[in-house]
């Protein structure tokens, strides 16, 4: 990828991490586990953005949390709340609408050039 594209691409990605978290946390998950899940799902996220983001979403009521002390070390598990599900739904339909609009702008820019 051309280096000068990077900031724009990142800007485009930024909001999608929230959506991905809300969707993935329909089943409870903890910080590092979620980080790996996100990476596997194709959302490249830094740990230092994810952890504060989780806290913010929890504070806004989109996530609920509880401490699980059953395993080798105590971990804070997050789960998408009812309100969070609503947000995820709204973001998802927005994404679909945007994607449609982007497609409607024209076909692949490369083929456009050839015309």
String marking each residue 31-50 x if it binds another protein according to CB under 8 A: xxx-xx---------xxxx-
Q: Whole-number minimum distance, CB 23 to another protein, in Å?
A: 21
Stretch that binds another protein, among 15-23, 25-33, 96-104, 106-114 (CB under 8 A): 25-33
**CA separation, residue 96 to residues 33, 60, 92, 100, 103 (Å):** 27, 24, 6, 6, 11
Contact 65, 58 (CB under 8 A): yes
Report the distance separating Cα 18 and Cα 87, nearest Å.
10
For residue 100, give both structure tokens. 């449609």
Pick from 55, 4, 10: which is nearest to 31 by CA?
Answer: 55
For residue 30, give both structure tokens. 């903890």
For residue 61, give both structure tokens. 């009521």
20 binds another protein per the rule CB under 8 A: no
Q: Which of 22, 24, 29, 30 binds another protein (CB under 8 A)?
A: 30
Q: Which of 16, 75, 79, 91 binds another protein (CB under 8 A)?
A: 75
Beta carbon nearer to another protein, 43 or 55: 55
Residues that bind another protein (CB under 8 A): 30-33, 35-36, 46-49, 51-52, 55-56, 67, 73-76
């Amino acid at each position: 990828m051309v280096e000068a594209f990077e900031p724009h691409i990142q800007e485009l990605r930024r909001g999608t991490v929230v959506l991905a978290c809300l969707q993935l946390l329909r089943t409870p998950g903890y910080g590092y586990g979620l980080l790996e899940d996100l990476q596997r799902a194709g959302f490249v996220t830094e740990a230092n953005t994810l952890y504060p983001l989780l806290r913010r979403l929890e504070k806004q009521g989109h996530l609920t949390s509880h401490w699980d002390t059953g395993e080798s070390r105590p971990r804070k598990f997050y789960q998408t709340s009812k309100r969070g599900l609503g947000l995820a739904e709204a973001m998802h339909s927005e994404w679909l609408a945007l994607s449609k609009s982007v497609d409607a702008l024209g076909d692949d820019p490369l083929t456009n050039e050839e015309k």
